Amino acid sequence: MNLSCFNIIELISFAKIFKMTKYYYTVIFLIAINSFLFSQNKESQDLKEIVITSTRIDLPFSKNSKTITILSSEEIKAATATNLADLLQQEAGIEIVRRGINGMQSDLKIRGGNFEQTLILIDGIKTEDAQTGHHTMNMMIPLENIERIEIVKGAAARIFGQNAFTGAINIVTKKHPKNKITLGANSGSFGYKSGAVTAIKNFKKSSHQVHYSYNESEGYINNTDFRNSNYFLKSTFKTKKEAINVLATFADRKFGAQYFYTTPRTNFTEYEKTQTSLVAISTKLSVNNLVIKPKIYWKRNQDMFFLKRQEPSYSRNFNISNKIGAVVNTSFHSKIGITGLGIDFAKTTLASNNLGNQSRTTFNGFVEHRFLLADTKLDITPGVSLGYFSDFGLQVFPGLDLGYKATDKTRLYWNVGASYRVPTYTELYINIPNFLSGNENLKPETAVTQEIGVKYRKAQFSINSAVFYRVSKDLIDYVKATSTSPVYKAQNLRQITTTGFELSGKYGFKILNHKQQLKIGYTFLDDNYKNVHVYKSRYLINSSIKHHFTASLNTEFIKNIKQSISYKYVNRYIDSYDVVDVKISTEIRGFTIFGIANNIFNTSYFEKEYVPMPQRNFEIGVKYRLD
């Protein structure tokens, strides 16, 4: 069977013939895999080596002793997604709890953690929000401006500090794009419309990227409409020795938030407006074997939330948070290895009519050293992060990474690390009468995580497998202790253990001299709540994914006509579902035309309780590039 004889629709039809109604989505990929094994030619697609830049010690991807996933600009362009939230939910082990199309609103989770426990960075700058983790995804950088995405799974507090409880995601923006102007327009189901313009200009001593986009929708169910604007600017100024980078991004979002935070019993019509901005200046200095990377930044988030959209005076929560920070990371190469040092200082303030006026000063110090032994085949990297919080005191996050190069293509690794997260101001002080209550006596969350894994990588094929174990204490959730409890109250839960397994693989090859790629991922999670005894939990208990399988297939058989198909299977403790999305695109004389069909089999499912996800929907778009 030769895959070039089939297009996406024919593959789906073939599976349906056998009436495998429960599993026929998976059959699509089994057919594709079979075709690959018998139709590939001798040419293979090289997997370029990428240097991970989100840490103090910059290392090639193949030499890291952690579970790291890289999404390249080519993969981002080929994906069946037009925004960051939809893109990330196609990765196994990452759960994006969406409340509708275009990522409105989205919570990010890694390896069974909750939305408060994952850190997002933009060019290495931490963007956590002290008010609530629900704002983590507010600043979704347009895909047009992203060079790659680095996903670090597991305890990362030793590297990034307290919010990297279960992992971190670093969004690397484009550095040296070519001169061009790009105009784009999209339209789709539920009255969806969007327009975008990107301009890039390189001068002798500077280069500049400017992007603006607007999108809106009438909503797929009552009170899920939205209006969004995104602004992005990146400028690089060249000096005699090093370049200075200036980054500025702003997102203005207005959206109906039906049952985002409440339940149908409350009969509220929630509505929210957020404005999120980031301004940063960074550079890189090199002196002999010493590399210094300083950054200064200002992040601001404004959030206005109404319980009743048509009656704003009923309950209006207005919050403005500001974070001003400075970071200096250094690395030094010597005969005994590489030493990484860093300091991170930040001042955070919150002005809120519900949470009060709050202030927090944080200081983090980092030190780590990478030893190379056994003729450089064995690497050992111990390290520690010291974190000071003005309202919670001094905390310590030690960790250790160990890697062994078994062969030129195989690497074994083991790591262990401590994690820590201080409560957000919402968890401490929220007060929604008859529904939700904070707790000023909350203690910080802690965890110890370890994993053991193996990586295999060659020119056309790579695979990564890991087993991990996390012991968490004092996790924070909103719970009802008994059936008669009047409100959900923030509480520290006792010990919870999480055991997991991950497997991911990527296979690149050529057919008819065109690049093809198959990518699969699987995550298994098992949570043990034996020490937790509550009547009901809002976020933690029985809400995590147990089995998570993802697959994507990007193909091209005719020049400039590309097809993509993505599949996701999710099994939670209380439900399961699978979803298939497809995309076809073509490039002709500066024009790129594409069509996307989401949830093509019309699956009914929920990612957040009480908020049904959209069933079958479509989007078409066109871009024009002027070089």
Residue 39 pLDDT: 42
Q: Which of 215, 219, 224, 72 is nearest to 140 (CA)?
A: 215
Same domain, 30 and 91: no
Q: Indicate the average pLDDT of the chain.
A: 88
The amino acid that residue 56 corresponds to is R
The pLDDT value given to residue 59 = 75
Give me the pLDDT at residue 47, please.
Answer: 43
pLDDT at 339: 94
387 plus 480 within the same structural domain: yes
Mean pLDDT for 154-181 is 88
Helix (H) or strand (E) holding 38: helix 24-39
Q: Cα-atom radius of gyration of the chain, to the nearest Å? A: 24
Angle at 86 between CA 83 and CA 89, to 5 degrees: 145
CA 56 to chain centroid: 20
pLDDT at 42 over 80: no
**Residue range 198-245, pLDDT digits in tens:** 999 999 999 999 999 999 999 999 999 999 999 999 999 998 888 999
Residue 207's pLDDT is what?
Answer: 94
Query: 509-529 pLDDT, tens per residue?
Result: 999 899 999 999 999 999 988
Does 323 share its domain with 471?
Answer: yes
> Do residues 256 and 378 both lie within one domain?
yes
**In the structure, what pLDDT confidence band is assigned to residue 452 with cuts at 50, 70 and 90?**
very high
pLDDT at res. 323: 97
For the chain, how many residues are written? 627
Find the angle CA(502)-CA(504)-CA(507) to the nearest 5 degrees: 170
Please report the pLDDT score of residue 610 as a whole number: 87
Same domain, 580 and 606: yes
Distance between the two ends of the chain, CA-based, in angstroms?
41
Per-residue model confidence (pLDDT) at position 525: 94
- The percent of residues above 70 in pLDDT, for the chain, comes to 91
Query: By CB neighbour count within 10 A (0-12 exposed, 13-18 middle, 19+ buried), where does 373 fall?
Result: exposed
Are residues 500 and 569 located together in one domain of the fold?
A: yes
Give the residue-averaged pLDDT of 437-459: 94
| Model pLDDT, residue 506 | 94
Residue with tokens 């409890």: 485
Q: Are residues 186 and 233 in the same domain?
A: yes
Tell me which H or E stretch contains 77: helix 73-78
User: Residue 171 belongs to what H/E stretch?
Assistant: strand 167-173
Q: Which of 43, 180, 52, 222 shows the shortest CA–CA distance to 610? A: 222
Q: How confident is the model at residue 49 (pLDDT cuts 50, 70, 90)?
A: low
Which pLDDT band, with edges at 50, 70 and 90, does 62 fall under? confident
Q: Please tell me whether residues 8 and 100 are part of one structural domain.
A: no
* Pairwise pLDDT comparison (21 vs 232), residue with the higher score: 232
Between the alpha carbon of residue 248 and those of residues 118, 278, 577, 620, the distances in Å are 23, 6, 39, 29
CB 416 within 8 A of CB 448: yes
Query: What average pLDDT does the segment 607-622 reach?
Result: 93
The residue among 597 and 267 whose pLDDT is bigger is: 597
Nearby residues of 374 by Cβ (< 8 Å), 6 or more positions away: 404
Q: Do residue 3 and residue 121 come from a single domain?
A: no
Confidence bin at 54 (pLDDT 50/70/90): low
Co-location of 128 and 272 in the same domain: yes
Mean pLDDT of 496-515: 93
Domain that holds residue 263: 40-626
Instruction: For 253-263, write each residue's pLDDT tens digit.
Output: 999 999 888 88
Report which of 530, 467, 528, 522 is spatially closest to residue 500, judged by C-alpha positions: 467
Are residues 112 and 30 part of one domain? no
Alpha-carbon dihedral sign for residues 147, 151, 156, 161: positive
Tokens for 114, please give them: 């909750």
Q: What is the mean pLDDT of residues 346-363?
A: 96
Which distant-in-sequence residues (6+ apart) come within 8 Å of 159 by Cβ? 54, 55, 56, 152, 168, 366, 368, 383, 385, 399
Q: What is the DSSP string of 456-507?
A: EEETTEEEEEEEEEEEEES-EEEEESSTT-SSEEEEE---EEEEEEEEEEEE
31, pLDDT greater than 70: no
Task: Return the pLDDT at 81.
Answer: 94
Q: What is the pLDDT of residue 48?
A: 55
Q: Are residues 49 and 26 in the same domain?
A: no
Number of domains within the chain: 2
Asked whether residue 37 carries a pLDDT value surpassing 60, the answer given is no
Tracing tokens 């956590």 back to the chain, one arrives at 128
pLDDT at 64 over 60: yes
Which whole number is the average pLDDT over 53-59? 71
Minimal CA–CA distance to 49: which of 57, 58, 60, 59?
60
CA–CA dist 138, 604 (Å, integer): 26
Residue 274: per-residue pLDDT: 96
Task: Determine contact, residues 489/429, Cβ cutoff 8 Å.
Answer: no
Statement: residue 61 has pLDDT above 90: no
- In percent, the amount of the chain with pLDDT more than 90 equals 70
The CATH number that applies at residue 63 is 2.40.170.20
Residue 459 has what pLDDT?
Answer: 82
Q: Using one digit for the tens of pLDDT, what is the confidence trace for 276-334?
A: 999 999 999 998 899 999 999 999 999 999 999 999 988 899 999 999 999 999 999 99
Residue 19 reports pLDDT greater than 90: no
Contacts of 380 (CB under 8 A, 6+ apart): 370, 371, 373, 400, 401, 402
pLDDT at 197 > cutoff 80: yes
Mean pLDDT of 36-65: 60
Q: How many helices (H) and strands (E) does the chain have?
A: 6, 39
- What is the pLDDT confidence band of residue 440, given thresholds at 50, 70 and 90? very high
Distance between CA atoms of 305 and 415, rounded to whole angstroms? 41
Q: Residue 441 corresponds to which tokens in the numbers above?
A: 């006596």
